[in-house]
Amino acid sequence: MRSLATLHQPHASCSQSVGQQARRRSLPCRRSGCARAPRLMTRAGSPVLEASGDQDDANITPPIDAFEELVRLAVEKDPSLASLAEQHLRSKKVTASSSLLGPSLSALPNQSKPAWLRQRAPQGDVYNGLKSQLRGLKLATVCEEAQCPNIGECWNGEMATATIMLLGDTCTRGCRFCAVNTARTPPPPDPDEPVNTAQAVASWGVGYVVLTSVDRDDLPDGGAEHFARTVRTLKQLKPNILVECLTPDFRGDLDAVRHLAGSGLDVFAHNVETVERLQRRVRDPRAGYMQTLAVLRAAKQAGVYTKSSIMLGLGESDEEVVDTMLDLKAVGVDIFTLGQYLQPTPHHLPVSEFVTPEKFEYWRRFGQEEIGFRYVASGPMVRSSYKAGEFFLHSMIESDRAAMRASRAQQGQQQQVGQQEQGGQW
């Protein structure tokens, strides 16, 4: 294993009490891509956040509301969002009483769920309306196909969003964590899907949308052009919309990756899913850790924001999580998310550990403050596509572009002044 640091991971679960006194230590960085040595808060060798009290973790609540924290960060970057942010926070408080955070987790197999994972089933007028519209247009969503626990939250309120799944609802791969249907030869893609999808999304009036797809190893380019045509059509219909594409690896075909990255999308997302040691156990054999890094590097070189995600609770160690963060940062990943793995059916991998909200908060801070990702979303219910994160990313991208426009305008003025001064000398 390529090791950044010597971290001892005890066999005991991360969900033990964390009220004990913590100490700091510095980790020597032995990777060329790391600019500084991470500093971990440790308890008996395992990184935690400083905490007080002896309360059992089953009753611990996250110290920070993730959605409110993201909105606060967005307003800090762009104060003009303050009014809109207040509306979203008010809307969230209204819907919070019904706990619209997705399918009943008590129905998931073989696990006794900790308190922070107990939610009610999705409901609400907006949820039902969006579901009906998607059915009418014959559009699939990864929210439903992958049994995302956040479907109720993301499909309700003024920020209602859905992650549209292109290229059908059947994947050619069989990853052991994923509930999406699989087949060796799925039905051919719908040639009208790019136009139908773009028209539907443009009609919703959203400012940020996520497009994703199943793996289509049966197609020559893995579906890259189908994906790219959807993006191009959407940008033609609504030029100001920000588009994130959560992509497959296209069998490692970097020409296909560059083709999609150059289609006009704003964020290229491709998930590493788990640490290097667990890749063969968790993902289909046609996927791979190094292949994922190569895809993300090629996308970044095309000049777009890049994003990746990892699941916790599959048996990874803290050292392996740190190594994964460093590898992703080394290939230019800007945005990183961490969430709890949940076993969708008895036929899928069991959960090795339910990671506490406190530990997720530790990884969020570590990823942003020590590794240097532009943005990290980390929590038991966080998934790669999550509407609270989209709110922040929208603000971040618009702020970056405004700064770039201002810089170009300033450079133009400086050049004009220089030319005038030169003309005066002659």
- Per the annotation, does 17 bind a ligand? no
Picking from 241, 165, 271, the residue whose alpha carbon sits closest to that of residue 393 is 241
- Per the annotation, does 385 bind a ligand? yes
Helix (H) or strand (E) holding 70: helix 66-77
| Owner of token pair 């030869």 | 185
- Per the annotation, does 143 bind a ligand? yes
Which DSSP category does 59 fall into?
Answer: G
- Per the annotation, does 14 bind a ligand? no
Which DSSP category does 286 fall into?
Answer: T
The C-alpha angle with vertex 32 and arms to 30 and 35, in degrees rounded to 5, equals 90
Contact (CB, 8 A) for 367 and 325 = yes
Q: What DSSP line would sit under 75-144, residue for residue?
A: HHH-GGGHHHHHHHHHHHHHHHTTTB-SS-GGGSTT----GGG--BPP--HHHHHHHHHHHHTT-EEHHH
- CA atoms of 122 and 348, how far apart (whole Å): 23
**Count of beta carbons in the 10 Å neighbourhood of residue 9:** 15
- Per the annotation, does 34 bind a ligand? no
- Per the annotation, does 245 bind a ligand? no
Q: Is the dihedral of CA 23, 24, 28, 31 positive or negative?
A: positive
- Per the annotation, does 154 bind a ligand? yes
- CA atoms of 139 and 159, how far apart (whole Å): 20
291: its two tokens: 């292949």
From the annotation, which residues make up the binding site?
A: 143, 148, 154, 171, 175, 178, 385
From the annotation, which residues make up the binding site for [4Fe-4S] cluster?
A: 143, 148, 154, 171, 175, 178, 385
